[in-house]
């Protein structure tokens, strides 16, 4: 180990979660999203666990992410979820990555990259307004796909904006718009083999969104897609796959009235033993964690973070308890009777669990465990 801070990623937990989700959505296929280095868990680790759990395919955001999977020995279908720069498409063709298109320019770029009968998925913008072809233009792009020997229409899909808020009627409106476009495509003679719309929350809370395949991301890693689906997620028994650990690197005693860290923003009301933990905001622990009331686990108990988190270190108030250099620290995971989760950190910091795990930097070694 190169430093006293590391993450452990359970392939078994990812496999378990994929198996649960695959069973839930069957007969729809499960295509696990492993973009952004497997949501911070490690792309190859995530891919192997998801495929072992029954995933039929994988999804990434970038061509280079798909190439990494191929070079790591993954031969399952891989879909790149948005149009890519023309210069990247030769890699997609060479490595057999399925490609998303929503413009005729993307079709032309694939042809220029040497594609022949290459599988593409047509993305339809049903209201999220991020990327995708407008519903009224979908048939024209499908016609261009059919006319080009470079590509063939394998799938059609959309993305749900508020699936994690099950009472919001906009999800049903999006599915209605998607169904209408699929009908127009069929009338024009286009019949993509697979339709897909559901992200994690869509797959769990909206059975009508499952179609022929689903694309869960965060749920594969055992984290919450949103509080609106918390009950459904809890009932599934998904397991968080990542734990974040460290060891105490320094211990000191400070007196009442002493202040600590940059800006000296915390004043000790009493004498305390302070443990320094060698992780900081360069590792993904937010600088504002102290102000948000964050704690870590040392000695089986929550210990408050004191003072501003620095780039490489944070400090913890351990009261009058005995603490020694090398003692284990838990930032995400369980110690004794207590557990800290990525979702817990997200609630403290006013964000989502996705950002917490994706934000754990490459400086933190990932260790794969069963």
**In terms of domains, do 195 and 248 share one?**
no
DSSP output for 164-209 = TSTT-THHHHHHHHHHHHHHHHHHTT---SEEEEE-HHHHHH-GGG
Domain of residue 102: give its range: 11-228
- Tens of pLDDT along 179-191? 999 999 999 999 9
In a domain, 91, yes or no: yes
Task: Based on the fold, state whether residues 118 and 84 are members of the same structural domain.
Answer: yes
Q: Among this protein's residues, is 262 annotated catalytic?
A: yes
Judgement on whether residues 301 and 176 belong to the same structural domain of the protein: no
Q: Is residue 4 part of a domain?
A: no
DSSP class of residue 61 equals S
Per-residue pLDDT at 2: 84
Asked whether residue 88 falls in the same domain as residue 60, the answer is: yes
Domain shared by 216 and 147, yes or no: yes
Domain membership of residue 370 (yes or no) is no
Among residues 175, 196, 228, the one where a domain terminates is 228
Strand 213-214 to 29-33 pairing: parallel
Residues 200 and 282 in one domain: no
Q: Which of 228, 250, 265 is the last residue of a domain?
A: 228
- Give the pLDDT mean for 60-80: 98
- Do 157 and 180 fall within a single domain? yes
Q: In this structure, what CATH number is given to the domain that contains residue 125?
A: 3.20.20.10
Domain count, the chain: 2
Quick: pLDDT tens for 280-329: 999 999 999 999 999 999 999 999 999 999 999 999 999 999 999 999 99
Give dist(CA 160, CA 158) in Å, integer. Answer: 7
pTM (global) more than 0.85: yes
Q: Is residue 354 a part of any domain in this protein?
A: no
Instruction: Kindly state whether residue 37 falls inside one of the protein's structural domains.
Output: yes
Q: Give me the torsion for CA of 308, 312, 316, 322, rounded to 10°.
A: -160
Residue range 344-357, pLDDT digits in tens:
999 999 999 999 99
- Tokens 């459904």: give the residue: 232
Residues 6+ apart with CB under 8 A from 312: 278, 279, 280, 282, 283
Residues 264 and 124 in one domain: no
How much is the pLDDT for 159? 98
Same domain, 286 and 211: no
Alpha helices in the chain (DSSP H): 11-25, 35-39, 43-52, 63-71, 89-94, 104-112, 138-147, 170-187, 200-205, 230-236, 289-292, 342-349, 353-358
Closest by CA to 110, choosing from 157, 64, 78, 152, is 152
pLDDT tens for each residue of 154-181: 999 999 999 999 999 999 999 999 999 9
Q: Does residue 80 sit within a domain?
A: yes
Looking up residue 288, the CATH number of its domain turns out to be 2.40.37.10
Q: 192 lies in a domain?
A: yes
97 shares its domain with 139: yes
User: Do 147 and 206 have their domain in common?
Assistant: yes
Question: Residues 102, 262, 281, 354: which is the catalytic one?
Answer: 262
Q: Considering 228, 259, 292, which residue would you say is the last residue of a domain? A: 228
Residue 1 has pLDDT above 80, yes or no: no
Tens of pLDDT, residues 10-52:
999 999 999 999 999 999 999 999 999 999 999 999 999 999 9
Of 15, 16, 20, 27, nearest in space to 210 by CA: 27
Would 200 be classed as within a structural domain?
yes
- Once rounded to an integer, what is the mean pLDDT over residues 93-106? 98
Q: Is the pLDDT of residue 276 over 90?
A: yes
Alpha-carbon radius of gyration of the chain: 23
Residues 167 and 111 grouped into a single domain: yes
Asked if the model's pLDDT at residue 359 lies above 80, the reply is: yes
The active-site residue out of 35, 211, 245, 354 is 35
Q: What is the mean pLDDT of the chain?
A: 98
Percent of all residues in the chain with a pLDDT value above 70, rounded to a whole number: 100
Q: What's the pLDDT at 94?
A: 98
**Given this model, what pLDDT does residue 267 score?**
98
Q: How far is CA 196 from the centre of its chain?
A: 18
């Amino acid at each position: 180990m190169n430093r006293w801070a590391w993450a452990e990623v359970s392939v078994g937990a990812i496999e378990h979660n994929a198996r649960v989700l695959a069973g839930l959505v069957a007969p729809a296929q499960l295509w696990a999203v492993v973009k952004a280095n497997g949501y911070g868990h490690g792309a190859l680790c995530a891919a192997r666990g998801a495929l072992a759990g029954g995933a039929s395919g994988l999804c990434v955001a970038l061509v280079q992410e798909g190439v990494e999977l191929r070079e790591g020995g993954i031969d399952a279908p891989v879909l790149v979820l948005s149009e890519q720069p023309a210069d990247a498409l030769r890699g997609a063709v060479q490595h057999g990555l399925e490609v998303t298109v929503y413009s005729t320019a993307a079709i032309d770029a694939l042809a220029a990259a040497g594609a022949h009968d290459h599988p593409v998925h047509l993305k339809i913008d049903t209201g999220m307004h991020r990327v995708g072809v407008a519903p009224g233009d979908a048939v024209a792009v499908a016609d261009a796909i059919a006319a080009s020997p470079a590509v063939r229409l394998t799938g059609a899909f959309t993305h749900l904006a508020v699936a994690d808020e099950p009472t919001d009627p906009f999800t049903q409106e999006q599915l209605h718009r998607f169904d209408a476009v699929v009908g127009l495509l069929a009338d024009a003679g286009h019949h993509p083999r697979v339709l897909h719309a559901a992200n994690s929350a869509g797959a769990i809370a909206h059975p009508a969104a499952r179609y022929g395949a689903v694309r869960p991301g965060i749920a594969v890693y055992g984290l919450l897609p949103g509080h609106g689906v918390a009950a459904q997620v809890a009932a599934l028994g998904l397991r968080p796959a990542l734990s974040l650990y460290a060891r105490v690197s320094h211990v000191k005693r400070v007196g009442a009235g002493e202040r600590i860290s940059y800006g000296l923003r915390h004043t000790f009301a009493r004498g305390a033993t302070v443990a320094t933990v060698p992780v900081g905001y360069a590792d993904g622990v937010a600088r504002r964690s102290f102000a948000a009331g964050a704690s870590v686990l040392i000695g089986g108990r929550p210990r408050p973070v004191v003072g501003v988190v620095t780039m490489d270190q944070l400090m913890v108030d351990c009261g009058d308890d005995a603490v020694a250099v090398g003692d284990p620290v838990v930032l995400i995971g369980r110690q004794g009777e207590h557990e800290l989760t990525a979702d817990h950190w997200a609630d403290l910091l006013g964000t989502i669990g996705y950002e917490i795990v994706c934000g754990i930097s490459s400086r933190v070694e990932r260790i794969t465990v069963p």
